[in-house]
């Protein structure tokens, strides 16, 4: 068993475990595609909506044609292009509260007022969502329905239906971001929002957590006209996506590495999830948290703000993210206080021993 003593434990980044990155398989796939029949065309400008075989493959997975799929340089980049097209300064964008910090920043950078709707253990509070919509209909609502970053929450089937019903009734887009959905370690998946209403839903996802983040292969699935406009914007912005990486992803599937790699990821991560759940129950028994069935994150909302938590944690060799980054504006001004009490704990890149030690240190710092 690995000994964990005084070394630093970094609970800050939702990144894959470095030992899970399949460098040898990617190298094989890259070599095969560069030496294959498309070897030169993937080194040339082109394929502005992404490498066509990959658009087709993703289209098959989502039951749509290739022209409803845009593959670009990571999903955050696609989100940026999408928001550049949809948001006008002063628009309201709704998110879950808390939500992915970089998404909040991306929307704000385009001039949006970003309002977070409190996230419960089965999705957002629907009453408060309706109240926010009644104040001003958003351009879109951004949600991470599966194993949410940062909270680890999965939206229930009933709340998914409620979200698409509201989007239809009030006429706004739902942007569902699902990079963790496939990393389910137990239980059954609820439907995608797009399965409930494809006309109102734009789905964004990525291979960052399933193969490698640095390949920068993310994608968006949406209505044909919207995707067509986005392809034009993507062309104007980046000229051409990273085609060799996209072709390597196709090859990764063709060689059946995707399924075996996914199985190895689950095998590595599932015990890490168990370890964090167990550690929280043991060391912080009075702090409730949503127990996820997959993904990268568990988070806790401490009952009271713990002054200088980050600095005091650091003194014990525990590195935490500032919880306030995950909070947008709120309907009632509670975001700041909640952010101070919120601790995100990404567990995939730490061993079970490090997780146990990290949570123990967290508990000790809180009790000081």
Ligand X SMILES: Cc1ncc(COP(=O)(O)O)c(C=O)c1O
Q: How far apart are CA 78 and CA 170, in angstroms?
A: 25
Residue whose tokens read 């988070």 = 299
Among 154, 155, 206, 246, binds ligand X (CB under 6 A): 206
The Cα–Cα gap between 21 and 37 comes to 27
Write down the residue that tokens 């996914």 correspond to: 262
Which range, of 168-176, 190-198, 205-213, 241-249, touches ligand X by CB under 6 A? Answer: 205-213
Structure tokens at 290: 């949503």
| Binding status of residue 241 toward ligand X by CB under 6 A | no
* CA distances (Å), origin 47, targets 33, 55, 239: 16, 10, 9
Question: Closest separation between CB of residue 118 and ligand X, Å?
Answer: 18
Touching ligand X, residues 146-165 (CB under 6 A): 149
Q: Which stretch binds ligand X (CB under 6 A): 69-77, 104-112, 160-168, 252-260?
A: 69-77
Nearest approach in angstroms of CB 72 to ligand X is 9
218 in contact with ligand X (CB under 6 A) = yes
182 touches ligand X (CB under 6 A): no
Angle (nearest 5°) at CA 85 between 127 and 102: 60
Site for ligand X in 87-116 (CB under 6 A): 100
**Is residue 208 part of the contact set for ligand X (CB under 6 A)?**
yes
Contact call for residue 68 and ligand X (CB under 6 A): no
Could you tell me if 49 and 241 are in contact, meaning their C-beta atoms sit under 8 angstroms apart? no
Nearer to ligand X, 215 or 313 (CB): 215
> CA end-to-end span of the chain, whole Å?
29
Told to check if 348 binds ligand X by CB under 6 A, we report: no
> Which residues does 169 contact at the CB level (< 8 Å), separation at least 6?
none
**According to the binding rule CB under 6 A, does residue 123 interact with ligand X?**
no
With binding defined as CB under 6 A, does residue 179 bind ligand X? yes
DSSP-derived secondary structure letter, 121: B
Residues 6+ apart with CB under 8 A from 88: 111, 139
Per CB under 6 A, the list member of 177, 251, 356, 357 interacting with ligand X is 177
Only segment of 72-80, 238-246, 272-280, 303-311 that touches ligand X (CB under 6 A): 72-80
């Amino acid at each position: 068993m690995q000994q964990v003593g005084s070394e630093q434990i970094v609970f800050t980044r939702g990144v894959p475990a470095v030992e899970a990155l399949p460098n040898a398989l990617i190298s094989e796939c890259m070599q095969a595609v560069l030496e294959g029949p498309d070897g030169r065309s993937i080194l040339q400008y082109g394929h502005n909506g992404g490498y066509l075989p990959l658009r087709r493959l993703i289209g098959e997975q989502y039951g749509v044609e290739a022209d409803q799929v845009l593959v670009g340089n990571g999903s955050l980049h696609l989100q940026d292009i999408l928001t550049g097209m949809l948001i006008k300064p002063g628009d309201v964008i709704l998110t879950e509260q808390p939500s992915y910090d970089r998404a909040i920043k991306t929307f704000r950078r385009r001039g949006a007022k970003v309002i977070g709707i409190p996230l419960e253990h089965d999705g957002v509070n629907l009453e408060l969502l309706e109240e926010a919509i009644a104040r001003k209909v958003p351009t879109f609502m951004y949600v991470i329905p599966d194993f949410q970053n940062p909270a680890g929450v999965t939206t229930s089937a009933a709340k998914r239906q409620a979200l698409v019903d509201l989007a239809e009734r009030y006429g706004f887009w739902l942007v569902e971001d699902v990079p963790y959905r496939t990393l389910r370690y137990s239980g059954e998946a609820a439907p995608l929002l797009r399965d409930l209403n494809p006309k109102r839903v734009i789905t964004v996802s990525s291979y960052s957590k399933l193969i490698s983040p640095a390949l920068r292969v993310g994608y968006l699935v949406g209505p044909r006209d919207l995707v067509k406009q986005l392809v034009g914007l993507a062309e104007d912005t980046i000229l051409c996506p990273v085609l060799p990486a996209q072709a390597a992803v196709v090859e990764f599937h063709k060689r059946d590495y995707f399924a075996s790699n996914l199985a190895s990821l689950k095998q590595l991560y599932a015990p890490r999830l168990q370890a964090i759940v167990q550690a929280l129950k043991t060391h912080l028994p009075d702090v409730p948290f949503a127990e996820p069935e997959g993904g990268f994150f568990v988070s806790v909302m401490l009952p009271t703000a713990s002054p200088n938590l980050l600095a005091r944690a650091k003194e014990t060799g525990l590195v935490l993210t500032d919880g306030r980054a995950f909070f947008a504006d709120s309907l009632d001004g509670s975001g700041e206080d909640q952010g101070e009490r919120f601790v995100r704990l990404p567990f995939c890149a730490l061993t079970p021993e490090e997780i146990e030690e990290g949570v123990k240190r967290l508990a000790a710092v809180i009790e000081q």
